[in-house]
Amino acid sequence: MKYTALIIVLSMLFPYQVFGQTLPDLGDVSQATVTPRQERQIGLQIMRQIRADPSYLDDPEVADYLSRIGSRLVAVSDRYVFEHSFEFFALNNSEINAFAMPGGFMGFHSGLITAAQSESELAGVMAHEIAHVTQKHLARMISGSQYPGMIASIAALAIAILASRSNPQAGSAVMAATQAGMIQAQLNFTRKHEKEADRIGFDMLVKAGFDPHGMASFFERMQNASRYHESGAPSFLRTHPVTFERIADIQNRVREVSYRQVPDSIEFHLVRAKLRALQGSAFQKVSEFDARLQDRRYINETAERYGLIQALLRARQYGRAEKELNVLYQTIQSDPAAQPIKNHSLGKPIRIAGDYVQAAAMIDTLAAHVKFENGQVEDAFKLYQTALAAYPHYRALIYGYADALLQHGQPQKALDFTRKQLQILRNDIRLHQLEARSHEVLGNRLQQHQAQAEALILEGKYKQAIGQLEIALRQKHENFYQLSSVEARLRQLKEAVAEHEKDR
């Protein structure tokens, strides 16, 4: 089987806990075992499988939101010494869980994000995970007696990821069993890590301006769920053993901090609503949002209507989605101190309270999508252009506009636009893919395969990238400099792969 080698490599080079326990800042004792470079390569190998999994949520708005919260926490960490930048991503999985992997990759289930009742609760979980990194917990685990057990756990994890591609239920079952067995075998060893991550994470939470009550309330709610539903306890508890002692320690720390109210950002509510709209069947979600709006069972009406429109788009009810868009704009809170944004449906400026910039960009992105799907192509393009002028680096708008240009038969405009964006976002996988699609439609075969290769390199798929560059060289092309560029890139990549094989 072509994946056997990957599993063997993971089991040999990656003896780590990945689900919700540790993300390494390798140093000291463990530095001689796994280098930061190897750590990154291992993380990329696993991310390769995760990105191919149906549960991987390739959503720039969700990922960027998690990155903003994560960066805010990392910025105030006194112990942050790490060779790689973090990459936060989400999985469309209703289970409540989070996990960390080598190389700076951190994943959060959509179920955890929607289960968080406040932004501070979500930040509390993220701070706890980040603390595992800054405290070098993996280095301690590698030097401990649990080393062999972790090898088996990672092999099982790799198999679970592969199994879930053909049979999601079977894959999830293997993952759950892997997590449970791994935690049971190492429970005593990790308790001190969990307590230390609580303490360091709590300090990060306070310094970053979040409500520290959020960490205590989330853990306490998970503990209560375990007590009353023992057979179906949240998977978060299987990977993060929460005890009454830990909760009491956090609550004692909370009492030492002066209370101040920390409101949630509008973006938090919008992201949660979007994730809720993605779970389950589209028509079921439309009914759920309708019922909650009718009964006024919501925290934020703007977010609830935003989620309804997302569900309507999934259900392909484009006409009603546009009608609901008008209602959405009317429900946005008015705040004279906030910056005005153009209401493209009602034709007049509106003001959004709180974190209006990201919220306005999310709503404009949704509005452009609704217009385009409803056949109002020119209106959609105008909206994209106006919104991009206001939020030039907002990835969802960038991707949406380029994709709309391609769908509407304007590949040259799409190519010019993506090339301009790549001057700033050079390591953006989606932009390289959009560039490749543009070249494909235009018939530029050499450039198409060259762009595909760059996307594959960023995904860690080096051998496939080599294949794309070799295909590019077989294309008829009269531009000597273009051919030389491809040849140079191919040599560079082959040397890097050879060096990687040698390091193994």
Per-residue pLDDT, 174: 47
Q: What pTM did the predictor assign?
A: 0.81
Average pLDDT, the chain: 79
65-69, 339-343, 440-444: least confident range = 339-343
Per-residue pLDDT, 124: 95
Domain ranges of the chain: 4-255
Q: Which residues contact 419 (CB under 8 A, 6 or more apart)?
A: 435
pLDDT digits (tens, 9 = 90+) for 125-181: 999 888 877 776 654 554 444 444 454 454 445 445 444 444 455 455 545 544 444
Per-residue pLDDT, 152: 46
**Interaxial angle between packed helices 36-52 and 480-503, expressed in degrees from 0 to 180 and rounded to the nearest 10:** 110
pLDDT for 472 beyond 80:
yes
Predicted confidence band of residue 242 (pLDDT cuts 50, 70, 90): low
pLDDT for 347 beyond 60:
no
Q: What residues does 105 pair with on adjacent strands?
A: 87, 101
In the Cβ-directed half-sphere of 347, how many Cα atoms lie within 13 Å? 0
Task: Specify the amino acid at residue 4.
Answer: T
> Which residue in this structure is represented by tokens 């590698």?
142
In the Cβ-directed half-sphere of 78, how many Cα atoms lie within 13 Å? 9
Torsion over CA: 407, 404, 92, 298 (sign): negative
DSSP 8-state symbol, 409: T
Q: What is the set of active-site residues?
A: 129, 198
Q: How far is CA 344 from CA 27, 97, 309, 381, 397, in A?
A: 53, 38, 16, 12, 15
What whole-number distance in Å separates Cα of residue 179 and Cα of residue 17? Answer: 9
Residue predicted with more confidence, 189 or 128: 128
pLDDT for 295 beyond 80:
yes
Q: How far is CA 224 from CA 218, 220, 227, 421, 477, in A?
A: 10, 6, 5, 48, 66
pLDDT digits (tens, 9 = 90+) for 60-101: 999 999 999 999 999 998 765 565 678 999 999 998 888 877
94 three-class SS: coil
